[in-house]
């Protein structure tokens, strides 16, 4: 059984898609949802899906080993960042080499880095007059959005599109692809 843990800071729609995708899969256990935000929508989604939630604050995350130790003790096979907005601490990255994946709502290396998350990304894409945007799923290292790319998918951006339009199209790509790419990374057998 592969054990995965989801990290999310906000609404948690991707976290929910992934958890539901694996709900009946005998090879995967979505054992925990981790969040830094006590007001995050993901907490209610986790409750509905009967998945335990762990909340932590900045001091615990960056100045102690608690989260890393807990994940090591639970023998976590893959950490999946699904709208998690804090940089992963170096110690956590080192403890899980090539075992942390992230989704970014743009075509990296464009529109990545500190401050480029969520709605800010789509605003920047529209402001730059881009004709396409999309998603990037990548391994996580100690820098924002710089780990090795695993998968990208794109969607057109029309001149009339608002950041909200782009966000909607990108989110559709996320929901379609992220669960399957997580399954690929886990190298599951077909059921």
Q: Rounded to the nearest whole angstrom, what is the least distance from the CB of residue 104 to ligand GAR in the complex?
A: 5
What is the token pair recorded at 167?
């966000």
At 113, is the secondary structure helix, strand, or coil?
A: coil
Q: Which stretch binds ligand GAR (CB under 6 A): 8-16, 31-39, 46-54, 86-94?
A: 8-16
Residue 22 interacts with ligand GAR (CB under 6 A): yes or no:
no
Find the binding residues for ligand GAR in span 92-121 (CB under 6 A). 103-105, 117-118, 121
Catalytic residues: 104
Find the binding residues for ligand GAR in span 42-81 (CB under 6 A). none
Residue 12 is labelled as binding a ligand: yes
Find the binding residues for ligand GAR in span 148-187 (CB under 6 A). 171, 174
Closer residue to ligand GAR (CB): 95 or 112? 112
Q: Rounded to the nearest whole angstrom, what is the least distance from the CB of residue 173 to ligand GAR in the complex?
A: 9
Neighbours of 63 (CB within 10 A): 10
Q: Rounded to the nearest whole angstrom, what is the least distance from the CB of residue 92 to ligand GAR in the complex?
A: 16
Residue 88 interacts with ligand GAR (CB under 6 A): yes or no:
no
At 159, is the secondary structure helix, strand, or coil?
A: coil
Query: Of the candidates 108, 105, 114, which has an alpha carbon nearest to the alpha carbon of residue 168?
Result: 105
Compute φ and ψ for 59, nearest 5 degrees: -65, -45
Find the binding residues for ligand GAR in span 123-152 (CB under 6 A). none
Tokens 């929901």 — which residue? 175
Residue 58 is labelled as binding a ligand: yes
C-alpha to C-alpha distances, 83 to 98, 102, 187, nearest whole angstrom: 19, 8, 23
d(CA 163, CA 174): 16
Decide: 109 and 34 in contact? Cβ < 8 Å.
Answer: no
Among 13, 25, 37, 152, binds ligand GAR (CB under 6 A): 13
- 133 forms beta bridges with 155
Site for ligand GAR, rule CB under 6 A? 8, 10-15, 82-83, 103-105, 117-118, 121, 171, 174
């Amino acid at each position: 059984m592969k054990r995965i843990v989801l990290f999310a800071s906000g609404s948690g729609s991707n976290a929910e898609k992934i958890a539901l995708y694996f709900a009946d899969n005998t090879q995967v256990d979505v054992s925990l949802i981790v969040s830094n935000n006590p007001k995050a929508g993901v907490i209610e989604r986790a409750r509905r899906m009967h998945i335990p939630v762990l909340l932590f604050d900045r001091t615990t995350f960056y100045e102690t080993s608690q989260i890393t130790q807990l994940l090591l003790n639970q023998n976590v096979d893959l950490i999946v960042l699904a709208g998690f907005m804090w940089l992963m601490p170096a110690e956590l990255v080192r403890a899980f080499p090539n075992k942390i994946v992230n989704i970014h709502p743009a075509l990296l290396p464009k529109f990545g880095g500190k401050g480029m998350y969520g709605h800010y990304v789509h605003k920047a894409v529209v402001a730059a007059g881009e004709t396409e945007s999309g998603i990037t799923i990548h391994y996580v290292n100690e820098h924002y959005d710089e780990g090795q790319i695993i998968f990208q998918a794109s969607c057109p951006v029309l001149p009339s599109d608002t950041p909200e339009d782009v966000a909607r199209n990108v989110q559709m790509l996320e929901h379609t692809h992220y669960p399957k790419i997580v399954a690929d990374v886990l190298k599951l057998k077909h059921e």
